């Protein structure tokens, strides 16, 4: 289909997620997202706003042509800029694969956290808010909100089985509102009208926001510093996930307290050390507060020059994990694959000790 040039389309905001921009563009024109996408000639209308992981060249070209953007600007609103930190699938994923993919990458394509203060300024959802470890707004120093207080679900929630149907919803969706479908018994009877910008916030310390930035700030860049080495962002991400699993499995409260030497520690320890089943050791944080606690912990660990040394935290946890059999499980699940080389060597060293 030949794309039509639209009379008005809002300019994307830096860091805006594609689904957010599509929603705003549609609303500006008084269209539903499905109508908007059909108008610009995008045929995979069902998958585009709900996934936003990547777009095909033809989708980017159609959106760009109709709205006056460049294809590169469209692509920049997906997860593509973070391809150095997360694995971008090279083809569209089915809902079941999508669930598995996002669980492994610690991202969310089915819903978004949000900062009410940012949204009150401008009804825009940012791509970064979909990263599991992003729990804090760095501009406003508040926890991101996990759940809409009115409907009790993550805003813009999409069920697997609704993928493709959400875009088909005939009504324009106000980007300032939650918009979740509220379903009565067996039928759809409306949308949640909660104004996202009016949701209450929880203030955090500057250090919590700074530590999140120290861990995640370079996800869209080529290299990060990790214990004095320059590493690719995906190595930092995998190392972080492995260390979180180790901490969950074997760390004790005193060790976490030693790594978080400020007042926030009392709240963070139980969140970090919540009991998880062995199968959940590698899962992403469930909430913004857990994300904030984990990035605080990882920032402290990454900044600790002694962490990998003999008797340092990592070596201590590895030895404990070896004795309890956890290390075997993590190795079997590939959790050690791709971690920073010094950590991988340490794992080998401890592992050899177990065989000797
Ligand atoms: Zn904010
Ligand atoms: Zn809601």
pLDDT at 298: 94
pLDDT beyond 90 at 34:
no
Ligand 2 centre distance from Cα of residue 98 (Å): 23
Question: What is the full DSSP assignment across 180-204?
Answer: -EEEETTEEEEE---BGGGS---B-
CA–CA gap between residue 280 and residue 249 (Å, rounded): 10
Ligand 1 centre distance from Cα of residue 80 (Å): 23
pLDDT at 160: 47
pLDDT beyond 90 at 326:
yes
Ligand 2 centre distance from Cα of residue 340 (Å): 41
Ligand 2 centre distance from Cα of residue 165 (Å): 18
**CA dihedral in degrees (157, 21, 16, 182; nearest 10)?**
-20
Ligand nearest to the CA of 153: 2
pLDDT beyond 70 at 332:
yes
pLDDT at 9: 83
Q: 224-238, 262-276, 291-305, 325-339: lowest mean pLDDT where?
A: 262-276
List CB-based neighbours of ion ligand 1 within 5 Å. Answer: 115, 117-118, 137, 139-140
Ligand 1 centre distance from Cα of residue 140 (Å): 5
Ligand nearest to the CA of 111: 2
pLDDT at 48: 54
CA–CA gap between residue 354 and residue 145 (Å, rounded): 44
Ligand nearest to the CA of 209: 1
Ligand 1 centre distance from Cα of residue 118 (Å): 4
pLDDT beyond 80 at 112:
yes
Ligand 2 centre distance from Cα of residue 150 (Å): 5
Six-digit token string for 43: 């045929």
Ligand 2 centre distance from Cα of residue 182 (Å): 8
Ligand 1 centre distance from Cα of residue 156 (Å): 18
Mean pLDDT of the chain: 85
CA–CA gap between residue 79 and residue 88 (Å, rounded): 8
Residue whose pair of structure tokens reads 């971008």 in the numeric block: 88
Ligand 2 centre distance from Cα of residue 141 (Å): 23
pLDDT beyond 50 at 327:
yes
Q: Between 95 and 12, where is the model more confident?
A: 12
% of the chain exceeding 70 in pLDDT? 88
pLDDT at 46: 47
CA–CA gap between residue 214 and residue 208 (Å, rounded): 10
**What is the arithmetic mean of pLDDT over 309-323?**
94
**Contact, 133 vs 106, CB < 8 A?**
yes
Residue whose pair of structure tokens reads 């995640």 in the numeric block: 216
225 pLDDT band, cuts 50/70/90, is: confident
Ligand 1 centre distance from Cα of residue 116 (Å): 7
Ligand nearest to the CA of 150: 2
Buried-state track 151-187, b at ≥16 Cβ within 10 A, e below 16: bebbbbbbeeebbbebbebeebbbbbbbbbbeeeeee
pLDDT beyond 90 at 243:
yes
> Where are the alpha helices (H) located in the chain, listed in sequence order?
18-28, 33-40, 48-51, 57-67, 71-75, 95-105, 116-121, 206-216, 233-250, 253-259, 265-272, 288-303, 313-324, 326-332, 341-355
**What is the arithmetic mean of pLDDT over 138-165?**
79
pLDDT at 117: 98
């Amino acid at each position: 289909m030949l794309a039509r040039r639209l009379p008005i389309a809002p300019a994307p905001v830096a860091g805006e997620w594609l689904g957010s921009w599509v929603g705003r563009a549609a609303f500006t024109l008084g269209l539903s997202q499905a109508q908007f996408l059909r108008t610009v000639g995008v045929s995979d209308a069902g998958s585009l706003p709900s996934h936003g992981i990547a777009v095909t060249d033809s989708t980017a070209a159609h959106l760009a042509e109709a709205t006056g953007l460049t294809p590169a600007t469209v692509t920049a609103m997906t997860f593509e800029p973070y391809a150095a930190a997360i694995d971008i699938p090279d083809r569209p994923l089915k809902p079941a694969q999508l669930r598995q993919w996002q669980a492994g990458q610690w991202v969310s394509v089915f819903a978004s956290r949000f900062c009410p203060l940012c949204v009150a300024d401008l009804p825009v959802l940012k791509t970064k808010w979909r990263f599991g470890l992003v729990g804090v707004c760095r501009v406003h120093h508040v926890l991101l909100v996990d759940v809409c207080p009115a409907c009790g679900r993550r805003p813009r929630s999409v069920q697997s089985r609704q993928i493709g149907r959400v875009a088909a919803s005939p009504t324009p969706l106000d980007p300032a509102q939650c918009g979740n479908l509220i379903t009565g018994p067996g039928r759809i009877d409306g949308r949640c009208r909660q104004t996202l910008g009016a949701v209450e916030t929880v203030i955090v310390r500057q250090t919590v926001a700074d530590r999140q930035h120290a861990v995640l700030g370079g996800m869209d860049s080529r290299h990060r510093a990790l214990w004095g080495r320059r590493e690719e962002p995906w190595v930092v991400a995998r190392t972080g996930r492995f260390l979180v699993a180790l901490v969950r499995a074997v760390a004790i409260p005193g060790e976490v307290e030693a790594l978080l030497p400020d007042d926030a520690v009392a709240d963070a320890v139980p969140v970090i050390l919540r009991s998880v089943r062995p199968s959940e050791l590698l899962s992403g944080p469930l909430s913004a507060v857990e994300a904030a606690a984990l990035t605080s912990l990882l920032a402290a660990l990454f900044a600790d020059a002694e962490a990998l040394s003999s008797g340092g935290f990592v070596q201590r946890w590895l030895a404990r994990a070896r004795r309890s059999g956890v290390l075997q499980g993590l190795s079997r699940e590939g959790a050690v694959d791709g971690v920073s080389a010094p950590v991988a060597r340490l794992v080998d060293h401890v592992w050899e000790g177990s065989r000797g």
